[in-house]
Every structure is written in structure tokens, then in C-alpha cells.
Structure 1
Amino acid sequence: MIILNLPPCKFKIKNSENKRLIFDNLRKKYIVLTPEEWVRQHYVSYLINEKKYPESIIAIEKQLTINGLKKRTDILIFNKNGLPDIIVECKAPSVKITQSTFDQIARYNLKLNAKYLVVTNGLSHFYCQIDKKKEVYTFLKDIPSYK
């Protein structure tokens, strides 16, 4: 797998039935190791080890319904009140981050009302803070560490 623009991590990887699998510590099971999953696992590790977010407030592939369609967030982080705080959309390193990527996460946020949005392909990371009252967003250099 490609080296990402995130801190290096040690993962449990195995082969099974001609597929490479990576152990997801949050879901407590092996997952097919796709390029997008490689990015997601690195980003979760970054959140936990660098930004100090507790595992207990991070959800992977949380399902939501938008206009009658079932969707899933890649990573969803809840605040201390149990409300969505940060949505992370992960793409494979080969996928260029475009306006449609931001449109996707913005649609999710219409339902979730998170304060921060993150879009990453593991090489480039984009961070936004949403001000719901003023209806504006501000690009940031990073998301805040857990407090």
C-alpha cells in the first residue's frame, strides 16, 4: 500500500481467501483492505494517537438516511453530549478531492449538523469549521485536538 501523508502506523494485516484484510480496532474485526480502508485506518489512528480522541466517541460507517437513501459516513466523531461533532470522508489516494466530494459530505451534514468536516485521500486533507448561525464555513489547517 502507498505511504500516506499521515503518521505511520502498525496494523494487523492478513491474507484470507485471496484477499488482504486489515484489523479494525474499533469494529473489532478484519476488513477487506481497499485503498479507501487504508486511508480510513490511518486517519482513525491519527485521531486516536495524535489528536487524543477516545475510541468510544468514534463511529465507523455510521448509517444515515438522506432523501430515502441509505448512506454511511466513513468516520463520525461525537461530542461529549453524544451529538455529531466531526464528519470525516475518506477517499482512496488515487481519488482527487473535488467539489463533488465536498458536496457529498455537505449533504451528510444537512442531516448530522456536525461542527467540523474533514475530507481526506490520505495525501491531502481539507478541514472546515461550520458556523450554523451565520451559515458560513471556514477552512482550517487542522481539526482541534480532543479536550
Structure 2
Amino acid sequence: MQALNFPKYSFRFKNSENKVSIFDAIRKKFVILQPEEWVRQHCVHYLMEEKNYPKSLINVEKELVINDLKKRYDIVVFNPNGSIHIIVECKAPKIIINQDTFDQVARYNLALNASYLMVTNGLNHYYCVMDFNAEKYDFLKDIPSYSLQ
């Protein structure tokens, strides 16, 4: 897999039936290593190791329903009170992040009401804070590190 614009992390891999899998510490299982999964796993480690979010507050690849459509978010970070702090949308490195990508995560956020959004293809990372009163988001240089609110 290609190098990404994240710090270097140590991952567990296994080969089975000519497929490489990577261990997901959140789901506690090996998952097939696809380009988007490579980005997702780097992002999970980034949240835990660089931003100090507890593993117990991170959730990966869960279904949500928006306008009667079933969707799956990539990563959600919860606040200790159970509300959603951050939604992360991961794309494969070859996917260019554009307005459609932001619209996708913003649609998810209509249902989830996260305070922060992160969109990454592993090479470029974009961070936003929500302004619910003005119904817009503002770009940030990074997402905040974990702290007890």
C-alpha cells in the first residue's frame, strides 16, 4: 500500500487466500485491506495516538438511515456523554476530495449532529467545525485533541 500523509503506525497484517487483511483495533477483527481501509486504519490510529481519543469513544463502519436510505459512516468519535463529537469520511488515496465529498459527510451530519467533520483520502486532510445556527461549516487547520469537556 502507498505511503500516506500520516505519522508511521504499527499495524498487524495477515494473509489468507491471497488476500491481505489488517487488524482493526476498534472492531477487534481483521478486515480485508483495501485502499480506503488503509486510510481508515491510519485515521483511527491518528485519532488515538496523536489526538488522544480513547478507543472506547471511537466507532467504525456503522449503518445509519438518512431519508429512508441506509448509509455507512467510516469513523465516528463520541463525546463521553454519548453525543457525537467528530465524523470522519475516508476515501481511497486515488479519490480526489471535492464538494461532493463534503456534501456526503454534511448529509450524514444532518442525522448525527457532530461538532466536527474530517474528510481524508490519506494524502489530503480537511477539518471543519460546524456552525449549526448559521447552517454552515468553517475550515480548521486540525481537529482538537481529546479533553474532558
Structure-2-length-normalised TM-score: 0.96
1:124 alignment partner in structure 2 = 124
Aligned-partner SS, 1:7: coil
Aligned-partner SS, 1:10: coil
Q: Which runs of 4+ in 1 moved over 3 A?
A: none
**Structure 1, 11-20 or 31-40: larger mean CA deviation:** 11-20
Report the residue type matching 1:45 in the other structure. H
- Percent of aligned pairs sharing the same letter: 63
Q: Give the Cα–Cα distance (whole angstroms) in 1 for the partners of residues 130 and 14 of structure 2.
A: 40
Question: 1:103-122 to 2 correspondence within 5 Å?
Answer: 103-122=103-122
RMSD (CA atoms):
0.7
Aligned-partner SS, 1:101: helix
Report the residue type matching 2:3 in the other structure. I
2:32 alignment partner in structure 1 = 32
Report the residue type matching 1:128 in the other structure. C
2:99 alignment partner in structure 1 = 99
Task: After TM superposition, give the deviation of residue 136 of structure 1 in Å.
Answer: 2.7
Q: Give the Cα–Cα distance (whole angstroms) in 1 for the partners of residues 26 and 130 of structure 2.
A: 27
Report the residue type matching 1:65 in the other structure. V
Task: After TM superposition, give the deviation of residue 98 of structure 1 in Å.
Answer: 1.0
**Structure 1 residues not aligned, in runs of 5+:** none
Q: Give the Cα–Cα distance (whole angstroms) in 2 for the partners of residues 2 and 75 of structure 1.
A: 21
Task: After TM superposition, give the deviation of residue 54 of structure 1 in Å.
Answer: 0.2
Aligned-partner SS, 1:95: coil
Residue 81 (structure 1) aligned with residue 78 (structure 2) = no
Question: 1:124-143 to 2 correspondence within 5 Å?
Answer: 124-143=124-143
**Structure 2 residues not aligned, in runs of 5+:** none
Task: After TM superposition, give the deviation of residue 21 of structure 1 in Å.
Answer: 0.3
Q: Give the Cα–Cα distance (whole angstroms) in 2 for the partners of residues 94 and 72 of structure 1.
A: 20
Count of residues paired in the alignment = 147
Question: 1:43-58 to 2 correspondence within 5 Å?
Answer: 43-58=43-58
**Structure 1, 43-52 or 130-139: larger mean CA deviation:** 130-139
